[in-house]
Amino acid sequence: MNRRRCAIAAITAVCALTVLVAPGAAFAAPLAPAAPSAGPLPRAPEPPDRGREGGDRSLEEVRMEIEGLYHQAVSATDAYNLAKEEAERQSGEIARLAQRIDKGEDRIKELKDRAGATARAQYQGGGLPAEAQLMLTDDPRLFLDGVDRVKQGMKATRDLLRELDRAQADLRAYARDAGAQWQTLESNRLRQNEAKKKITEKITAAEKLEKRLAKKERARLLELEREAAAKAQAEWLESRDRRRADDARTDASPDGGAGGRDGKATAGGAKAVEFASAQLGKPYSWGAEGPGSYDCSGLTSQAWAAAGRNIPRTSQEQWRQLPRVAVGDLRPGDLIIYHADASHVGLYIGDGSIVHAPRPGRDVTVAGAGSMKILGVVRPDR
């Protein structure tokens, strides 16, 4: 009965996943098979101090604070997505263990039935062990035949007992594993809840800060955001073109093509670009993988899924697991990872541009590849 309860508990754990992914509850690759870690990534920076308000603060300071809050929300979204992905894996493992527990209990019942049949056969033989019955025979041929049968019977009994012990040990191991997976599932659920809380707090704080601005100030804020992105993009393009010119002179760029231009997209890369471009104008929504809305890594993972290549769900896992290439060797379909904590990702479409889902309150859009701080580039189909 105890083992049967273990199986029921494990199956119940699988049902609990419905609660984890229900709207309004903790929901969220990521996640993956557990990836070899390159060490912990830096945390998202805290926004500037809010000590001064209104006229005592420049609009640029307000912009930086809002940007910091949204950056932290996006970082927490990556943690949320990874916890969701891991929780889904754990629930799948619990389901497999529950099936093994059921099969193990059925096997033990079968082995016990066979052992019972052997015991009944002995009882029907007069209650004497086979060895005793053998010694009482007067017929030499029966004696020799009996010796062989006794040996076979003893071996079969030993094999049966060994198999029964093995099945019972497997069942205990399955029950232990199911318990451990359940504990991990609970841990992931708590991580999801914590990430969800942080996302909500940061977005709410940013929205409140933005709403305190007058209409003209909000318009100017958007203008400052565009100016900062344009400046960063111009600096990046200048640096890129300089590197490519150097590479062209030394013929050092393996994929850049003549004159250091972008490399040619593969068939998969072209499909990923086509999918991502078709999502332009759809809203950012944390934890979303389409079709109506996306977060940054939801967009890139779905773009490559449309190209027939499954990649990790989160930008941090995309950075950890996918093959890296030099920034100077970009080709359409590559993923550009941003910020020191790898908390943002965009899909390169060529000519120095990306398609990405920027942040809460923004839509999927085209942006300059260098408009944010680049951490590196990964290539899903390398």
Give catalytic status of residue 344 as yes or no. yes
* DSSP-assigned beta bridge partners for residue 233: none
The residues near 203 (Cβ < 8 Å, ≥ 6 apart) are: 69, 70, 73, 360
Q: Which of 6, 71, 296, 339 is catalytic?
A: 296
pLDDT at 34 over 50: no
Q: Tell me the per-residue pLDDT of 329-357, one tens digit each, with 9 for 90 and over.
A: 899 999 999 999 999 999 999 999 999 99
Over the stretch 230-289, which tens digit does the pLDDT of each residue have?
Answer: 999 999 988 888 877 776 676 655 554 444 578 899 999 999 999 999 999 999 998 899
Residue 339 among the catalytic residues: no
Instruction: Report residue 305's pLDDT band, with 50, 70 and 90 as the boundaries.
Output: very high
Residue 218 reports pLDDT greater than 50? yes
CB–CB of 77/287 below 8 Å? Answer: yes
What distance, in Å, lies between the first and last C-alpha atoms of the chain?
53
C-alpha to C-alpha distance for 6 and 128, rounded to whole angstroms? 40
Q: What does the DSSP 8-state code read for residue 322?
A: S
With contact defined as beta carbons under 8 Å apart, do 342 and 319 qualify? yes
> Which of 24-38, 67-81, 109-123, 191-205 has the lowest average pLDDT?
24-38
User: Whole-prediction pTM value?
Assistant: 0.62
Distance CA 199, CA 79 (A): 10
Mean pLDDT of 7-24: 39
The residue annotated as part of the active site, out of 6, 71, 339, 344, is 344
Band (377; pLDDT cuts 50, 70, 90): very high
Q: Among residues of the chain, what percentage have pLDDT more than 70?
A: 69
Indicate the burial class of 169 (C-beta count within 10 angstroms; 0-12, 13-18, 19 or more): exposed
Helix (H, G, I), strand (E, B) or coil at 294: strand
Half-sphere CA count of 323, side-chain side, radius 13 A: 8
Angle among Cα 357, 32, 28 to the nearest 5 degrees reads 50
Residue 15 among the catalytic residues: no
User: What's the whole-number mean pLDDT along residues 184-213?
Assistant: 84
- What pLDDT is stored for residue 139 in this prediction? 55
List pLDDT tens digits, range 70-119: 888 888 888 888 888 787 777 777 777 777 777 777 777 776 777 666 66
Does residue 118 or residue 214 have the better pLDDT?
A: 214
Question: Quick one: pLDDT at residue 101?
Answer: 74
Angle, nearest 10°, between helix axes 140-211 and 2-15?
A: 30
pLDDT of 291 strictly over 80:
yes
Who wins on pLDDT, 312 or 186? 312
Catalytically annotated residue among 6, 71, 339, 356: 356
The winner for highest mean pLDDT among 54-63, 133-142, 143-152, 171-180 is 171-180
Q: Which residue has the higher pLDDT, 172 or 54?
A: 172
> What's the average model confidence in pLDDT over 152-163?
68
